Amino acid sequence: MAAREKKLVGINIVEGKGLGKAYFVGRAVRQDSVVSISRQDIGNHIMLFNEIREKAKSDYRAYVKSFDGTSAFDTSILNVYEHILDDPAFIGQVVETISIKLFDLETSIRLVSSDFIKRFSAAGTSYFKERSSDMVEICEKLISYIHKDGDRKKSFIEPTVLVVLRAFTPSDILRYDKEKIKGVVSVHGGKTSHAAILARSYSIPVVSGIHNISEHIRPGDQLYVDADKATVYIRPAGSVISRFHEAEKKTVDLGKTLRKKWNRPVYTKDGIQIEVMANISLPEDVAQANNNGADGIGLVRTEYLLSNKKEFPSENTQVEFYRAILKGVGKKECVIRMMDIGGDKIPEFFEMPVEYNPFMGWRAIRILLERRDLFETQLRAIMVAGEKHNYKVMFPMVTTLMEWLEAKKIVKSVSKKLGLKIPECGVLFEVPLAILEMETFMKEIEFASIGTNDLLQYLSAADRNNPKVNYLYTPIEPAFLKILKTAIDVCKDNGKSISICGEMAGNPIYTVLLVGLGLKRFSVIPKNIPIIKEIISNISFMEAAESASHLPAIESSAGISRWIGRVNKRMAGEILEKIPLFE
């Protein structure tokens, strides 16, 4: 009899719905999900297999030497393990599974071990039954050694839901082919963590806050993630799956219609052009941005170039990375952000000091100014790749004007050495001290952008990844909106362009509000570009501005929320009703 459906309720992190088989990330237990590789990876996986076999044998020998003869433990079993590791049949089947079936090393070891275990168990004798448990030990021992086996992404053969027994990170998504990832279930995670931002940009629903996951979910279980309701269905009933497929079809159809319609610039009803650009992380994201009608790239998160890397990428590697992006962007504008290392984006190879609050510590431009080697390598790569392209460079976490002027000196120096034109440079305003003194930056920058995620975190003194203080993290606090309005006006008065590239800009609920505040340049996740453009095309810039002029009289976020509800209903009601399908 099939196991019954079970429901787990957690916290909504990234909206959406997804259906796939459970795959435990980084967990050395039996996996039913199969991971494929390309032919060019065969040699690397076989080489790794030989390396981890030798490591396992070495460890077992060390165990034998560690016993002084007084222990009751029979060390001869460790010698048996070594014989199994050298067994030509075992080695040959694993190599054959990798080479012919193109399964990754972990999958191959598990499949071959499972086959051995079944044969040992079927033999019926006590000796072979013992060998069955030995194979379990060997399998898990080898799997435990498989860490960071190359930088190439793994591909799932079937739709998969990642199960993470901790807070999920950007690397949990980036190390796999994202096309088959249909959801994430994790113990911890914040709505505006960088992992959540990444998942949202790839339309991967996420439910967090589910504890004791391994007690409820088994590897290979069918999971239906309904993040809109913060619910995970384990082994969902047929009726649930049917409803999912029906809704998915409507979502796909609506998405196709809007993408086709908005592969062009958008204007408000009274003729004001609003740019809707894309936030991306990888070269392959450019195609998605173009398909969704992006007017350009408003943010390239270059730190994701470091994901799953064992060392800082060479200048040539970085040049190819940026060239691939710029080639895809074509003649449109592309804003490349310098690496925002730190916070929850720490490369595996990078030695960071222990910090009690890393989001307010050594990160972004603070690291780059101290590590000039990293700073100049990235700048050189961007400038070389950017020659003859319409690109700009943006700097994160700038706090003071003096800090900015020091960074500009380095830009000028690198540009002079290369004999290339100095690119337009701008600041990502996400530190309160900087945005409150924005006027002082105006003569020294070419453009500005606002990172609402970190800015709101610092202004509210509320960790955006901490569910205990999540209620304080709201972008519709009256004081926060006043700061945004002032920043937009300062840039307008000084003839500087300004965009918002944080999560707030990509949320359709806030589109009318931001246009009302005077914003003419959005930078959002690619999939939301068509719906943002659809809303913009149905509102009047002057009407939105007139409505927003009443905001200073509203004294609470609850009041702002009611105002947004009324204005959205009046200006974009029919469109917003369709958004749950699209998301």
Our CA dihedral for 204, 207, 211, 215, rounded to 10 degrees, sits at: -60
Element (H, E) at 121: helix 105-123
Q: Are strands 35-36 and 155-156 parallel, antiparallel or unpaired?
A: antiparallel
Are 450 and 430 within 8 A, CB to CB? Answer: yes
Q: Which of 139, 425, 491, 501 is catalytic?
A: 501
Residue 129 three-state SS: helix
Residue 131 three-state SS: helix
Buried b (16+ CB within 10 A) or exposed e, 237-256: eeeeeeebeeeeeebeebbe
Are 225 and 164 within 8 A, CB to CB? Answer: no
Catalytic status, residue 501:
yes
Tokens of 338: 């310098």
Q: What angle do CA 474, 480, 486 make, to 5 degrees?
A: 155
Tokens of 87: 């067994």
Catalytic status, residue 425:
no
Expressed in angstroms, the distance from the first to the final Cα of the chain is: 36
Angle between helices 42-66 and 126-145 (to 10 degrees): 110
Angle between helices 557-576 and 478-493 (to 10 degrees): 70
Q: Which of 194, 389, 425, 491 is catalytic?
A: 194
From CA 398, how far away is CA 396, in angstroms rounded?
Answer: 6
Which residues face 185 on adjacent strands?
163, 207
Return the active site residues. 194, 501
